[in-house]
Each structure stands twice: as C-alpha cells, then as structure tokens.
Homo-oligomer: A and B are copies of this chain.
Amino acid sequence: MAAKPESYENIVQTASRLFFHQGYHATGLNQILAESGSPKGSLYYYFPRGKEELALECIRRGNEFIKQKLKETLAENDDPVRAIQEFIRNTAEEADRVSFNGFMPIGFWTAAETSCISESLRHACVNTFTDWQHLYMERLQADGWMEEKARSLAVLIISMLEGALILAVTQQSSEPIYNVVDYIPQLIK
C-alpha cells in the first residue's frame, strides 16, 4: 500500500478526533475541513461516498490503534490481572492528559449512536468490540481460563470500561475509570 498524502492523513486524524469526542452526528464535514485545513474537494476525492465512508476509515484506524496498545500491554505483564489493570489505568491517564477533550483512543459510544442509523457503521463497531474481546480472551486462556469463562470476563471488562468512560466524560473526572481498576482482581480469580 502506497503512503497516503499528507492531506489524507490530516483529514482522517482530525475527523477521528472529532468523531470520537463529539460524536458522529455532532461533527460536520465543514468543521473537519476547517480544523484540518483541507479543502472540501480533497475529502470527496479520497472518500467519494462522503461522511459515512470517512467514518468507516476512522473506526478502522481507531480499532487498529487500540488493538495495538491492548496487545502490547497484555503481553508486557506476566500476571493477566496486572496487565488488564495496566491497560485501564493507561486509559484513565490518557483521559486526564487530554482533559477529556482530545482524541480519546477508547470510547466507541459512536457505536451506540450510529448503530440505529447505518448498518455498515454498526457492523464496523461490532467488529471492533469483537477484536478487543478476542485479545482479552487469548490472554486469559493463556493463563488457564476456560474459553467460555474467558469470553464472559472479556465482555464484562469491555462493558465496565466503556461504561466508566461514559461516566468519566460526563462528570469530567477519571475517577470512574480508576474505580474499574480496583475491581479487576476480584473479578479475575
């Protein structure tokens, strides 16, 4: 795959930041173009089918980014409990670092928002959650957990983190995220 031009990168990165922060519908193409400094023609040159195609690429990118982070963190630690705690703690630190105001490489509540609008966006979000689930499952199974138990733990961890992110963004405090960290040992044992 050839390297994409700079304007392509600018558009995708700006769009990702805005979509994942404000939501899909709250983000207009004009805002994306204004903040990325790109003209409208470029967007429709790279994404002929418009906003939805751009959002699909943002979801795909966001998913790859998180998968990479999650994979690394889960591999770095011998103890799966500590590994998972580490990932969630990193998420909280990132949220604080950007003051809940930048690209939060985490929240796919875009998922819920777009799921009743577009089937293709919904499907992309389902794939994202499934990918994360498999990473948690692999790590837990490698530590001796049975497949079905690993699956339900993985789903629970993702639920807790996504829900805590909602609370965190709403309350403008990372406390709910750290609260999840505290309960991981009690769940995975």
Residue contact B166 to A183, C-beta cutoff 8 Å: no
From residue A11, how far is it (CB to closest CB) to chain B in Å?
21
Residue contact A113 to B117, C-beta cutoff 8 Å: no
Of A1-9, A41-49, A174-182, the segment with at least 4 beta carbons within 8 Å of chain B is A174-182
Chain B residues near A32 (CB, 8 Å)?
Answer: none
In the complex with contacts A152-B179, A156-B180, A167-B129 CB distance below 8 A: yes
The reply to whether the CB of A22 lies closer than 8 angstroms to some CB of chain B is yes
In the complex with contacts A25-B26, A113-B23, A116-B22, A159-B179 CB distance below 8 A: yes
Number of copies: 2
CB < 8 Å: which of B109, B122, B167 contacts A159? Answer: B167
From residue A25, how far is it (CB to closest CB) to chain B in Å?
4
Residue contact B109 to A166, C-beta cutoff 8 Å: yes
CB < 8 Å: which of B25, B155, B162 contacts A23? Answer: B25
CB < 8 Å: which of B24, B113, B166, B182 contacts A162? Answer: B166
The reply to whether the CB of A111 lies closer than 8 angstroms to some CB of chain B is yes
Q: How far is the CA of A170 from the CA of B118 in the complex (A)?
A: 11
Chain B residues near A125 (CB, 8 Å)?
Answer: 170
From residue A15, how far is it (CB to closest CB) to chain B in Å?
16
CB < 8 Å: which of B111, B155, B172, B186 contacts A170? Answer: B111
From residue A136, how far is it (CB to closest CB) to chain B in Å?
13
Residue positions of A touching B, CB distance < 8 A: 21-26, 100-101, 107-109, 111-113, 115-117, 122, 125-126, 129, 152, 155-156, 158-167, 169-172, 175-176, 179-180, 182-183, 186-187
